[in-house]
Structure 1
Amino acid sequence: MGDRTNFCIVHVQCKHGHPSCKRCLAGLNKCHICRQPIGDMRCRPLENVLAGMTVPCAFARFGCQEGVRYTERAQRHGHEASCQHAPCHCPFPGCSYAGAAAQLFAHIRGAHAAGSPSAVSSIRCTPVALPRGMPFHVLLREEDSRVFLLLNGGDVPKGRSLSVVCVAAAGEAELYTMGSVPRVRRWVRYPTGGFLFVPDAYWRASGGSVSVTVHVGAVDGLDHLSISGTIPRVRCVQRGMMKKNGKRTTMDHGTAKKTRSVKKVAKKTEAGLCTDQQQDVEEETTKMTYSIDSDSLECGICFLPFEDRVYMCKNGHAACGSCCLVMGRECPSCNEPIGDIRCRPLEKVLAAMSAPCKFRASGCTETVGYTERRSHEASCPHAPCPCPFDGCTYLGLLLYNHILDEHATDAVVAMGSLRLRGIVVTVHKSKPFHVVLHRGGTRVFLLLNGGDVLSGRSLSLVSVGPPPPANCELRYKIELAAVGPGQGELALSASGTVPCVRQLDVFEAKAFLFVPEAYWGSSGTVSVTVHI
């Protein structure tokens, strides 16, 4: 984008995924990067993220606790333009002081008044000597600790322009002279609305310096040259002003405005999501936490967090890559093709974000990239596991100990090696699962007894808990001997990798051992040997 300010509320992109805000498209119909047509395809996924994003005020470290909608930050009359906590900056070159207006008053009087007596004085009805080459003169009003600047601008032909500003918060009570006193936070490129024109002849006649009397307060009966109209309010002042044609004119001894950058982080999934953005606040790198509606960061089909690639149809409906394949590359919202157009603006936002693991309350201290949340949280060892027994509300990290303490009568505990000797489990046809534990271990295994096959039952094994480390693998083998005449002549077995889940109700076995009805006999039980 050519405009480096915050995104507006409407965003568009070309078919290659290059974004632009709507205001940057005035008079343009081609992408500024790839020259493809742009303007017809809304980037709704990014719009949803920004519309649900709340950021702290830029002046949070100065005490402001307000949250600001991201799309409102660039508004001229937004919260930050009138924030009472915005710092006021010292106007003297080389001084980096910033603080409240009252503190600025004490700073100037203590740090600059003695060293620069010709540049600082108290407001009285006595003339102030203002040299032609001095860009400003500081005026201190003792009764309310206010700081005023008498600006000496060179932006008018054949003379100089004198104006007055108050260095204070924009939301403070108004001051009245023959108009309202404007305020600034820093001496920036500030367009003066009203000023006193002092011709060059005045300066030459007085030897390059004029005597100026400044009245602030109720002024009656003035009959000499004076400023009337609106005197602007600022918090910061920089030696530069704007001509009417929009071009900048630098005053004597002026300096250019510095570019400040701030690095931010970000969430309102209740995690801190991370992203980068520029701020005109301080020349330093800081972190800020964004609050974002978690729904805008999730696929609308599977409702899981977006991964590194996000696709959208031409109407702006987004989906993750796996869901595009599951849906046959057809958008479920509008039936348009989906899977060819990348939503790169949202991908960049997600790539710049990091979030704490959602199991931080259980002890996880990891902070991962947002697009890596799925994989991390699927294997996080701090994820709590619910108890599989009906009616039990336990949810925690010590499921093994909980079952030994509360459900010992329903568990089969192996004393020796499960891999070499195995353990014999008597499976009851009416029970949905049997718990298998290894003495001294920590894992909970369930031998599932499913009735989802015709003329028999399906037996499968699952581990409730996090998966093993990447270099390890849990293998199992289930063996069942024949029952009745010819016992031992026919046996059933199945083997494979033990799947790991946290919740039993979401598990569906991909492989199992089929046990026909004839094997169960009149007792409705079978004896199964399990090796793990």
Structure 2
Amino acid sequence: MDGGTSSKRRVEAPREGHNVSMGMDALDCPVCFHPLRPPIYQCSVGHFICSSCRPKLGRNKCHLCSAETTFQRCLGMERLMESVKVPCSNAKYGCVEKLTYYQKDEHEKECPNAPCFCPESSCSFAGATDALLDHFSSQHKWPSTTIKYSEDVMFRLEPGLHFLRTKDRQIFLRNVVLEPVGHAISVVSIQPKPKNSKFMCNMSYGSSLTVYFQSSTYLRSSSLSDGLPKGYNLILPKDEIADDGKATFLTFSIDDPNPKVKAREPICLKPVHGV
């Protein structure tokens, strides 16, 4: 009777979490040093190896103990690897994902909460893009403008930073610098993970009556971790800009990277009677 009661209590008792520390390299393949993931194999002694490295071993010889062996699936280790959950490295920037250990690197390559950085050299702020834009306006008072894809926006040609945002939460940095040769303009897409940009930028400049030059180029992307990107998209020669640029306007637009193409309606041919 007492044994039955004791057993029942053990089953119904809530399981409490425990703080456990371990060397995470114990969960990595000792050959490629990547996290082990199912299927996982072990030699006859118990040394683990991932499925990608197992075919690379010659003569079925263990990579650690050199014993000739037949590698078998280790279901216990596979179950352990499925149960190990870790936080994303971007948790402090707002990511709440709990990830299987071997999926952590894949997630972080595309994590939307990966940080971007303030380009001001004396500022150490880092955060997700939404927080970054709030920081720009509240701490540095840099201007920002909400734009629509493929619609022209006109700015006066004034040196300094100007941030542009779209409704789908993309952020762009436009920088105008006064160089000895003229006004140098750069535009960059602010992305946590720099990659080949899908954004086409169109720029032209001139007075209210005349357009002098037009330029179209794919934008670079940057997290701004190294400050402002080097290089320019457009340089306006000094001898073409009168009155220090006060009477010159920069027309700017960014093409929609995913344009919605309206499907053509089918053509219905009506029979003509009496022909």
TM-score, normalising length: structure 2 = 0.51
Q: Alignment partner of 1:400: what SS?
A: helix
Q: Distance in 2 between matches of 1:283 and 1:460?
A: 55
User: Per the alignment, do residues 402 and 443 of structure 1 end up closer, same or farther by CA in structure 2, a change over 3 Å counting?
Assistant: farther
Q: Distance in 1 between matches of 2:214 and 2:144?
A: 20
User: Per the alignment, do residues 499 and 378 of structure 1 end up closer, same or farther by CA in structure 2, a change over 3 Å counting?
Assistant: farther
Q: Distance in 2 between matches of 1:378 and 1:528?
A: 36
Q: Which amino acid aligns with 2:76?
A: E
The Cα offsets for residues 449-482 of structure 1, whole Å up to 9 and x where unpaired, read as: 346x762232121122347999x93222111115
Pick the aligned partner of 1:457 from 176, 183, 193. 183
- Contact kept in structure 2, 1:462 and 1:501, CA below 8 Å: yes
Q: Distance in 2 between matches of 1:460 and 1:410?
A: 16
2:260 is the alignment partner of 1:528: no
User: Per the alignment, do residues 529 and 418 of structure 1 end up closer, same or farther by CA in structure 2, a change over 3 Å counting?
Assistant: farther
- Contact kept in structure 1, 2:201 and 2:218, CA below 8 Å: yes
Deviation at 1:515, TM superposition (A): 0.8
Task: Give structure 1 stretches of 5+ with no counterpart.
Answer: 1-64, 71-263, 289-354
Q: RMSD value over aligned CA atoms?
A: 4.6
Q: Distance in 2 between matches of 1:504 and 1:513?
A: 23
Pick the aligned partner of 1:447 from 165, 174, 177. 174
TM-score, normalising length: structure 1 = 0.29
Q: Distance in 2 between matches of 1:66 and 1:376?
A: 23
User: Per the alignment, do residues 425 and 367 of structure 1 end up closer, same or farther by CA in structure 2, a change over 3 Å counting?
Assistant: farther
- Contact kept in structure 2, 1:399 and 1:444, CA below 8 Å: no
Q: Distance in 2 between matches of 1:368 and 1:517?
A: 56
Pick the aligned partner of 2:153 from 420, 423, 428. 423
The Cα offsets for residues 457-515 of structure 1, whole Å up to 9 and x where unpaired, read as: 32121122347999x932221111159xxx61x51222222322111635645661121
The Cα offsets for residues 311-332 of structure 1, whole Å up to 9 and x where unpaired, read as: xxxxxxxxxxxxxxxxxxxxxx
Pick the aligned partner of 1:410 from 126, 133, 142. 142
Q: Distance in 2 between matches of 1:67 and 1:379?
A: 27
Question: In the alignment, what sits opposite 1:359?
Answer: 90
- Contact kept in structure 1, 2:176 and 2:186, CA below 8 Å: yes
Q: Distance in 1 between matches of 2:138 and 2:253?
A: 24
Aligned sequence identity (%)? 18
Deviation at 1:405, TM superposition (A): 3.8
- Give the number of the structure whose residues are more often helix, by fraction: 2
Q: Distance in 2 between matches of 1:502 and 1:283?
A: 41
Question: In the alignment, what sits opposite 1:325?
Answer: none
User: Per the alignment, do residues 368 and 443 of structure 1 end up closer, same or farther by CA in structure 2, a change over 3 Å counting?
Assistant: farther
Q: Which amino acid aligns with 2:215?
A: A
The Cα offsets for residues 16-41 of structure 1, whole Å up to 9 and x where unpaired, read as: xxxxxxxxxxxxxxxxxxxxxxxxxx
Deviation at 1:385, TM superposition (A): 1.7
Deviation at 1:393, TM superposition (A): 3.6
Q: Distance in 2 between matches of 1:457 and 1:386?
A: 25
Pick the aligned partner of 1:395 from 118, 122, 126. 126
RCO higher in structure (CA 8 A, sep ≥6): 2
Alignment coverage as a number of residue pairs: 192
Question: In the alignment, what sits opposite 2:216?
Answer: 495
Q: Alignment partner of 1:383: what SS?
A: coil
2:115 is the alignment partner of 1:384: yes
Q: Distance in 2 between matches of 1:511 and 1:367?
A: 42
User: Per the alignment, do residues 520 and 265 of structure 1 end up closer, same or farther by CA in structure 2, a change over 3 Å counting?
Assistant: same
- Contact kept in structure 1, 2:143 and 2:162, CA below 8 Å: yes
User: Per the alignment, do residues 283 and 401 of structure 1 end up closer, same or farther by CA in structure 2, a change over 3 Å counting?
Assistant: closer
